[in-house]
């Protein structure tokens, strides 16, 4: 039956892809091509943009070092320019998959795509040492070949390892921490060109460096703790929102990676239950494929239609929710395939982390706000995930497990939605995801991130001239 549905949807999907492509919209990820950017820079000042193309800027110079000497030389080159201008600063970026303009600079931009080699996989002790520019998907594949895996992963695996660490990138699972929590040690090149090693025992620096937003230096090499390679059993189905809200607290403890999607303007939630299973269970690839091809494409079609006529979204959702989101899914897959399969990727996003005891009330306030607002009609899901407490200073999970509520908008102005939702999140002292859209003030951040001031103290000691700052971060941290 599922295959039949997939088959029926295929021509529609192809038509949509062609329409979207020729409609000149961003349907697939077009990565920043650094070689082309560098070539173009000889005659013009080409733009570097974030993945969604919502933020862009022309840096003064591009750098793609292939070894640590070149990273050091680039930093020293910038450090020698003894002035305070934005063009005399430096930012480091990975895949540019942050919605907030963390990577924008009018100065120098470094990218470590060419500094991305796995250096050593220690199978016995389940750890890997790697150059930090590696993408998570390449790292995870290399680990899988040796019987290891990343402990958890978010919706996608296109990020660079250093970018994911620097922003506390997380998946779902109240027993599983962000990728930052897996760092055993890292090597960082500082503003003065010196190199330091920061280990888990280094209480002064480890907490700051494992979510540093690219402000403390350039992370060059990382050693990570890994898991033994695993398979997962993934189930997805629809449920009434009231039942889901009643049962979430017992489910987060029983299910390894539990998350939900509320379908706006409906009473339905799509449950995503992912449980780790032994390697002896065979992955059923065709079911994973069916999910990707039918569900993924059908949902993409829904979002797209919603962006064309936002006012119709509530009516269309009521009709669409069963045929679209009602497709039940259950399959076994490797951790490489089974932990992802999340929403279509191109969209705008804000995410706040709420204390577990406040989650139900905060979620219900958000639902009421979305239903009542006439200023916008959201055409995307509201996702909730759960994440373990940690000791990383700027981690949203610092010293508390959290429910992470992500709101998204597809090809529409998100301001009215995000502003209203942010007021609700902040009324529960939510902590914003640094890589996603937010407009939290410095005072607010200082209140909800207990180590905020400590982090600034370390930043100022390591980079007194502020060469790693950009205008955006200066506003967020000191505005």
Ligand X SMILES: Cc1cc2nc3c(=O)[nH]c(=O)nc-3n(C[C@H](O)[C@H](O)[C@H](O)COP(=O)(O)OP(=O)(O)OC[C@H]3O[C@@H](n4cnc5c(N)ncnc54)[C@H](O)[C@@H]3O)c2cc1C
Q: What is the contact surface with ligand X in residues (CB under 6 A)?
A: 51, 91-98, 102-103, 112, 132, 154-156, 159-160, 162-164, 166-167, 169-170, 213-214, 218-219, 345, 435
Nearest to ligand X of 13, 92 (CB atom): 92
Residue 88: CB minimum distance to ligand X, A? 17
Residue 45: CB minimum distance to ligand X, A? 19
For residue 40, give the H/E element and its range: helix 34-41
Residue 205: CB minimum distance to ligand X, A? 14
Residue 237: CB minimum distance to ligand X, A? 21
Nearest to ligand X of 46, 103 (CB atom): 103
Residue 51: CB minimum distance to ligand X, A? 5
| Cα–Cα dist 427/205, whole Å | 31
> CA 30, 34, 39: angle at the middle one, nearest 5?
120
Nearest to ligand X of 6, 153 (CB atom): 153
Name the nearest CA neighbour of 165 among 338, 355, 394, 11. Answer: 394
Residue 345: CB minimum distance to ligand X, A? 4
Residue 112: CB minimum distance to ligand X, A? 5
Nearest to ligand X of 316, 473 (CB atom): 473
Residue 298 exposure: Cα atoms within 13 Å on the Cβ side: 21
Contacts 24+ apart (CB under 8 A), 422-429: 422/350, 422/352, 424/362, 424/365, 424/366, 424/369, 425/352, 425/354, 425/362, 426/352, 427/365, 428/354, 428/355, 428/358, 428/361, 428/362, 429/355, 429/358
Would you tell me the crossing angle of helices 356-372 and 415-427 to the nearest 10 degrees?
150
Nearest to ligand X of 160, 260 (CB atom): 160
Nearest to ligand X of 227, 318 (CB atom): 227
| Cα–Cα dist 351/371, whole Å | 19
Residue whose tokens read 């780790």: 276
Nearest to ligand X of 60, 91 (CB atom): 91
Name the nearest CA neighbour of 122 among 143, 138, 141. Answer: 143
- The answer for residues whose C-beta is within 8 angstroms of residue 7's C-beta and 6 or more apart is none
């Amino acid at each position: 039956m599922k295959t039949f549905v997939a088959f029926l949807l295929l021509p529609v999907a192809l038509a949509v892809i062609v329409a979207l492509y020729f409609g000149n919209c961003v349907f697939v990820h077009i990565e920043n091509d650094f070689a082309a950017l560098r070539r173009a820079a000889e005659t013009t000042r080409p733009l570097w943009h974030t993945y969604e193309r919502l933020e862009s800027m022309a840096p003064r110079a591009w750098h793609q070092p292939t070894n640590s000497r070149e990273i050091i030389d680039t930093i020293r080159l910038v450090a020698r320019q003894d002035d305070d201008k934005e063009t005399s600063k430096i930012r480091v970026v990975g895949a540019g998959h942050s919605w907030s303009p963390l990577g924008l600079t009018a100065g120098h931009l470094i990218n470590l795509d060419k500094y991305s080699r796995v250096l050593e996989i220690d199978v016995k002790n389940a750890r890997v040492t790697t150059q930090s520019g590696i993408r998570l998907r390449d790292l995870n594949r290399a680990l899988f070949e040796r019987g290891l895996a990343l402990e958890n992963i978010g919706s996608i695996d296109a990020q660079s390892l250093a970018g994911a660490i620097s922003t506390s990138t997380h998946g779902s699972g109240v027993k599983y921490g962000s990728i930052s929590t897996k760092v055993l040690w890292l090597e960082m090149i500082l503003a003065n060109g010196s190199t330091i090693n920061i280990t888990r025992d280094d209480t002064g620096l480890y907490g700051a460096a494992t979510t540093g937003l690219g402000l403390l230096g350039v992370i060059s090499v990382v050693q990570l703790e890994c898991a033994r390679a695993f398979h997962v059993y993934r189930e997805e189905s629809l449920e009434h929102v009231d039942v889901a809200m009643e049962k979430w607290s017992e489910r987060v403890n029983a299910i390894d990676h539990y998350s939900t999607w509320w379908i706006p303007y409906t009473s339905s939630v799509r449950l995503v239950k992912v449980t780790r299973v032994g390697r002896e269970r065979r992955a059923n690839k065709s079911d994973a494929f069916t999910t990707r091809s039918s569900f993924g494409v059908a949902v993409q079609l829904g979002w797209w239609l919603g962006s064309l006529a936002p006012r119709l979204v509530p009516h269309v959702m009521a009709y669409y929710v069963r045929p679209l989101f009602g497709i039940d899914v259950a399959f076994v897959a490797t951790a490489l395939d089974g932990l992802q399969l999340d929403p279509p990727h191109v969209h705008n996003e804000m995410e706040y982390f709420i204390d577990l005891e406040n989650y139900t009330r905060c979620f219900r306030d958000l639902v009421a706000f979305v239903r009542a607002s006439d200023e916008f009609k959201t055409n995307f899901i509201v996702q909730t995930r759960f994440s373990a407490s940690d000791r990383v200073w700027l981690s949203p999970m610092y010293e508390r497990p959290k429910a992470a509520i992500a709101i998204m908008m597809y090809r529409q102005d998100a301001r009215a939605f995000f502003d209203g939702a942010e007021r609700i999140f902040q009324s529960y002292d939510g902590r914003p995801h640094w890589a996603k859209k937010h407009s939290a003030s410095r005072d607010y951040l200082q209140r909800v991130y207990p180590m905020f001031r400590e982090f600034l103290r370390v930043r100022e000691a390591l980079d007194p001239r502020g060469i790693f700052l950009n205008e955006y971060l200066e506003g967020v941290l000191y505005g």
